[in-house]
Structure 1
Amino acid sequence: MPQHVIVDADGINDEVIPFIVAINSHDGRSPYQVVVTPWRPVCGNTERLAVQDALTRWTVRHTRNATERIREARRTLGLSIRYYDQWAAEETALARTDLAINQFDQLIDTLWPLDDTATARSARTREVRRDRLHRLFADEAERAGRTAYAGERAVTDYLDHYAPIRPSAASGLRGNLSGARGLRLLEGIDDELKSTAHRRLTQLRQR
């Protein structure tokens, strides 16, 4: 997109680069889609998440008429600009909302609940994940303060770079971890977790 997005210009002044990504399947398995993807250069995070009254992903119709293509392009740009305007406003609000460590732990438990019948291995995995998230939160808090914004960045950082994934043979990426992570970002596998974190943290600023 032509202009970068600035979160909390009077505070942390965090720069985010807005992209539009077009995804198409030529074998008929999926429609032509457009995705908005905010990218934060500081940590290389893809910040895509659902915000109020704005779309993060939509389908573009296949049309033959040139005029219709122009209309679709204008519609796509309009939806993207609306998304980024709303996204920047909500992220700025999070940057001005304090987040205590026990509130961050509650967020972690919401995103990755542990069942009462969980095995010892699952419990260990939970503790390893929690420890990683705590360290990511501490790193983010050094620059952005102990805020809901830092908490959301920590969750996004974990999902983008540290969450365990297993590249499948079906994807053609077995053994290619970086390629599998890239495909996961494009396909939006973790979008719902990111959006859930965003909604929960947004509720804190409304109390």
Structure 2
Amino acid sequence: MCAQHDRSGLTADRSLSTNTLIRAGNAAGPIGRRRVLIVAHEIGKNDKVVLHREQAWHGLGIVVKDAPTPKEAVELAGLDWHVDQWPLAAVQDGGERLAVESHVANVRSDTTTQLGIVGNGYKPVQNIELAEFAAGLAKDGDVVRCESAGSIRDGKKVWFLLKGQSFSVRGDSDEVVPYILVSNGHDGGTAVRCIPTSIRVVCSNTLHMVIPQYESKSDSFRWGKGGKGLSILHLGDVKAKIEDARQAVKLYEHALEDSRKRMTTLASKDVTREQLQEFWLNAYQRHFQAVPVNPITDIQRRRVARAERSIGEIANRFDKERDVAGATAWNAANAYTGWLQRDRKARGGEEGRININVFGDNTKRTGEAFALAEAIG
């Protein structure tokens, strides 16, 4: 099958609004400070990355002094191209062609790079439309700024990372920074996604768990479970879906206020050593495997040893942050999720860790851990 070249066919700010959520500051990302949701080998020769006031990723990014708006980032990050849909044909060895009516090729306009083969009902969302979606998350008169933006895999995936105004949970030394990641894929397998998340700066924990999930009143889009955000499929009236989703994302300011209250409640809840041990053990067994009370076999003894080692690492995190977060449920939850996201071995190295923390099982596990922490007492 080939493409024919015929184009015909928390305390600092209690009045947080959407504009404060997306004001630019020092560069960081929804996976920790000084990181970007990319890895070097995913950046193709036709990709660019723009970063605000931060050393470039493996020397491949373009650093800018002033945080750009999403529309400005389109040009800076080399996203000022569009997706064309070319018809397909099946070609026999003898040269006979048969038109393929069920699928088309998504093709990058400036390089004619094939981005993906998609069904004929697929509706592309252009990069400028994604930028307009990101810009539209602000209230009238406010300006959205990008922390980073770019593409990977020669344009198959694009993103805009928006940073919000930080707040404190327990004194100025315990800072939380909100982000919104807006991304899209032209490969046929990636929806438009909008992921609200937060970072606890002192330990770089990703706080997916405290973002409430809001139900759409229509079937235009869906909120993912466990903090996975909002997704829009490339089918039907995509522009109408995006407008519907834009209004829903503005609910994030209410979600953030709810998050701040829940974090503050956890930070005010003192815990005993016995409560800590019970909480950590319950979370560990829920997410991994049961720990035998009276181990008999070698396998059971190894399970116990593994659990003891893990909980010991979690306890070390708790003790190190006691001066900042106290002997509280907030510290207990962050100690567990810090171990989960940073200390526990991840398959696939650093790239695997990024994927599981942002898009994988750790998003759900993190939410469940904080729910368990709220139940302590």
1:137-171 residue CA offsets vs partner (Å, 9 max, x unmatched): 1112121110111111111211111112111xxxx
**What is aligned with 1:172?**
none
Structure 1 runs, 4 residues or longer, greater than 4 Å off? 50-55, 61-64
1:36-92 residue CA offsets vs partner (Å, 9 max, x unmatched): 110122221111114556563222354454x7644432322x132222111111001
TM alignment of 1:61-76, pairs within 5 A:
62=234, 63-65=237-239, 69-76=242-249
Does the alignment pair 1:99 with 2:271? yes
Q: Higher relative CO (CA 8 A, sep ≥ 6), structure 1 or 2?
A: 1
**What is aligned with 2:320?**
139
**What is aligned with 1:170?**
none
1:111 aligns with one of 277, 283, 286: 283
Question: So what's the TM-score if we normalise by structure 1?
Answer: 0.81
For the 8 Å contact 1:31–1:59, the answer to whether it is kept is yes
Does the alignment pair 1:126 with 2:298? no
Q: Cα RMSD between the aligned structures? A: 2.4
1:166 aligns with one of 309, 333, 347: 347
1:160-206 residue CA offsets vs partner (Å, 9 max, x unmatched): 11112111xxxxxxxxx2221111122142122212221122123xx
Paired positions, count: 192
2:257 aligns with one of 85, 94, 97: 85
Report the Cα distance in structure 2 between the residues aligned to 1:124 and 1:25, rounded to whole angstroms.
Answer: 43
**What is aligned with 1:49?**
209
The amino acid of 1:48's aligned partner reads H
**What is aligned with 1:35?**
195
Question: So what's the TM-score if we normalise by structure 2?
Answer: 0.46
For the 8 Å contact 1:140–1:153, the answer to whether it is kept is no
Does the alignment pair 1:6 with 2:130? no
* Structure with max Cα Rg: 2
Higher percent of residues as helix: 1
Report the Cα distance in structure 2 between the residues aligned to 1:179 and 1:108, rounded to whole angstroms.
Answer: 26
Report the Cα distance in structure 2 between the residues aligned to 1:124 and 1:153, rounded to whole angstroms.
Answer: 23
Q: Determine helix, strand or coil for the equivalent of 1:39.
A: strand
- Structure 1 spans left out of the alignment, 5+ residues: 168-176
Report the Cα distance in structure 1 between the residues aligned to 2:305 and 2:192, rounded to whole angstroms.
Answer: 41
For the 8 Å contact 2:267–2:328, the answer to whether it is kept is yes
Does the alignment pair 1:60 with 2:223? no
Q: Determine helix, strand or coil for the equivalent of 2:188.
A: coil
For the 8 Å contact 2:232–2:241, the answer to whether it is kept is no
**What is aligned with 2:367?**
195
**Percent of aligned positions that are identical:** 19
For the 8 Å contact 2:347–2:353, the answer to whether it is kept is no
Report the Cα distance in structure 2 between the residues aligned to 1:103 and 1:139, rounded to whole angstroms.
Answer: 18
1:182 aligns with one of 345, 354, 367: 354
Change (3 A) 1:21 1:53: closer
Change (3 A) 1:156 1:24: same
